[in-house]
Amino acid sequence: MQIFDCDAAFGRGTTPLPRELETADDLLAEMEHCGIEQALVWHRDARERSFAQGNARLDALKGHPHLHRSCTIMPHTAREDFTEQELFEYIQTEDIRAVRAFPATHCYLLDPISCGELLGLLTAYRVPLFVSLSEFHDQWQGVYNLMRNFPHLTLVLTETGCWGQDRYFRPLIRGFPRFFLSTNRFETAGQLKSLVDDLGPERLMFGSGLPFNNPGGYIMMLERADISDEAKQAIAFGNLANMLGEVAW
């Protein structure tokens, strides 16, 4: 089973982890050890220090064809860095095909008032936005509000929690064709099979949460799930690869 990890990070953060992945080579070595072929990657500085500094440090991934950059976005409300148009010019020039947001950590809301132009551009160009559930100020209510306001936005929600959150996210899958889930923190027995049997595998993609999580459990969960090999491969690799290929530059 080929694996394309949608949620991996590198760099030394403000709080040391038991196993730091400081460099691209460190990350690649860990991926090889775990059997992960490719990864969509962000730098820890983007969340924990400065989003601009973290984005700049993604240059270390150039020349590593199995590591794909995902930059961190920020609204221009405080006039801190790029305007929304300048940010998109940078993303296009660098051919970066996914972005991340940390609104709770960075003190803003993913709503039309703060981020309307930015979210509109993401929607128009089909650029996927990755956000952890914990980064929404109102948790699931914030996710629902975002999808109501931007129903065609490509949103990948990560880290939905170790207990089943299906009653929250199944309506979103049914109601919004561009809503997706990462499997990191999918830890409830039988959850993956139940979701695939009901709604198919197309809205799921493998995420490890490296270096904050150990990928082994999530890989084993997918390998041993009572679903078809085709569904496993779609979740492990195909869905993310297809999504990145749909970006409309």
Rounded Cα distance between 153 and 47, Å, is: 22
Predicted model pTM: 0.96
pLDDT tens for 37-72 read 999 999 999 999 999 899 999 999 999 999 999 999
Domain count across the chain: 1
The pLDDT value recorded for residue 162 is 77
How far does CA 86 lie from the centroid of its chain? Answer: 22
Amino acid identity at 2: Q
Strand runs labelled E in the chain: 4-10, 38-43, 67-69, 71-72, 99-100, 129-132, 155-158, 179-182, 204-205
pLDDT band at residue 161 under the 50/70/90 scheme:
confident
Label residues 87-122 b or e (16+ Cβ within 10 Å = b): bbeebeeeebbbbbbbbbebebbbbeeebeebbebb
Contact yes or no for 111/146 (Cβ under 8 A): yes
DSSP run (H or E) holding 171: helix 166-175
The pLDDT value recorded for residue 67 is 98
Is the pLDDT reported for residue 19 higher than 90? no
Q: What is the mean pLDDT of the chain?
A: 94
pLDDT tens for 187-222 read 888 899 999 999 999 999 999 999 999 999 999 999
The pLDDT value recorded for residue 14 is 87
The pLDDT value recorded for residue 39 is 98
3-state SS string for 183-248:
CCCCCCCCHHHHHHHHHCCCCEECCCCECCCCCHHHHHHHHHCCCCHHHHHHHHHHHHHHHHHCCC
What's the chain's Rg over C-alpha atoms? 17
Average pLDDT over residues 107-132: 96
Rounded Cα distance between 75 and 29, Å, is: 35
Average pLDDT over residues 8-31: 92
Average pLDDT over residues 231-238: 98
- Range of 175's domain? 4-245
CATH number at residue 124: 3.20.20.140
Q: Give the CA angle between residues 150, 184, 126 to the nearest 5°.
A: 30
